Structure 1
Amino acid sequence: MTEPDERPILHTHTLRLSYADTDPAGILYYAAWFPKMESLQSEFFFLQGLRQDTLVERFGWWTVSRATHCDYLAAAKLFDEIRVELRMAHIGNSSFRFAFRMVRLSDDVVVARAENTVVTVSPEQTPVPIPEGLRTHLLAWAGTA
């Protein structure tokens, strides 16, 4: 199986870390990555015509995050420019996983890697198999379609 870092980049965003992202020493606060990853993932879905706020009414299912994991590999500091990359990591029966990579632009160092597991659910929030239309997208995004 292809490692997530070797799969196609689906979406990327470059940002400059702000004071609100850091602790008193000016080093990125560990939890600051999570909103940035969610924002990139939501924007990617939106650009694909998969608006989170209309999935249930349009398709009868929606998605929820089940688990998130982040490995902190190098310190990121106030005003560092970071490129956040989104890739497809894994496709299961009722869930799929996105991989994120955060790269400091000044020296091309990977400062963090993360994953977010997303589950397709019914309107009652019970897991359902990934609908065929979504599975087709996921396979194409993974580069395996």
Structure 2
Amino acid sequence: MHAQNGVQPYAHRCRVYYEDTDAGGIVYYVNYLKFMERARTERLRDLGFAQSALVGEGLLFVVHSAEARYHAPARLDDELLVSAQVIELNRASLRFRQQVRRVVDDVLLCEGQFLVACVRADNLKPRAIPESLRTAFAEQADAGPAKAGE
């Protein structure tokens, strides 16, 4: 799970609980989206930005679009490693590439890309990502060149 520029992408560890599975003990497909959401949230927290504080500043991050591909099932009690790598940083949005891997054997279970928009909390209209957050992502060197004007 190395980024193309050699920097290890951020990864969040989690475990599969009974509530995450179907009757056969296999993770229900939509729960991978929850695991990836948690990894994005923890990525922000790791950079020093709690979502609760951002809401207090009048901004939200909302998923604009999601794409997921499923490769192999996770099962009850599996420990997972969920990456959250910013691959595109625009004026009012971030694009994340994410993978869910089983820790014990590093098997790729699910992967996807998510376009996350920064919006005003009061009217849900797009707004610029705060400069402090843009700088934090740039300093982590896991974003490609930012696209101007987007």
Q: Does TM, normalized by the shorter one, top 0.5?
A: yes
| TM-score when normalising by structure 2 | 0.77
Distance 1:143 1:91 in 2: 6
Name the residue aligned to 1:102.
100
8 A contact 2:10–2:84 mirrored in 1: yes
> Following TM superposition, by how much is the alpha carbon of 1:95 offset from its aligned partner in structure 2, in angstroms?
0.8
8 A contact 1:56–1:62 mirrored in 2: yes
SS in 1 for 2:27: coil
The Cα RMSD (Å) is 2.4
How do 1:6-85 and structure 2 match up within 5 A? Answer: 6=4, 8-58=7-57, 60-85=58-83
How do 1:87-98 and structure 2 match up within 5 A? Answer: 87-98=85-96
> Following TM superposition, by how much is the alpha carbon of 1:72 offset from its aligned partner in structure 2, in angstroms?
0.5
The ranges of structure 1 where at least 4 consecutive aligned residues each deviate by more than 4 angstroms after the TM superposition are: none
The 10-residue stretch of structure 1 (60-69 or 109-118) with the greater mean CA deviation from structure 2: 60-69
Distance 1:10 1:139 in 2: 13
The 10-residue stretch of structure 1 (5-14 or 132-141) with the greater mean CA deviation from structure 2: 5-14
Distance 2:84 2:113 in 1: 9
Name the residue aligned to 1:121.
119
> Following TM superposition, by how much is the alpha carbon of 1:86 offset from its aligned partner in structure 2, in angstroms?
1.7
| TM-score when normalising by structure 1 | 0.80
> Following TM superposition, by how much is the alpha carbon of 1:64 offset from its aligned partner in structure 2, in angstroms?
2.0
8 A contact 2:89–2:143 mirrored in 1: no
Give the % identical residues: 30
Gaps of 5+ in 1: none
- Amino acid in structure 1 at the alignment position of 2:74: A
> Following TM superposition, by how much is the alpha carbon of 1:76 offset from its aligned partner in structure 2, in angstroms?
1.7
Distance 1:143 1:54 in 2: 23
> Following TM superposition, by how much is the alpha carbon of 1:15 offset from its aligned partner in structure 2, in angstroms?
2.5
SS in 2 for 1:54: helix
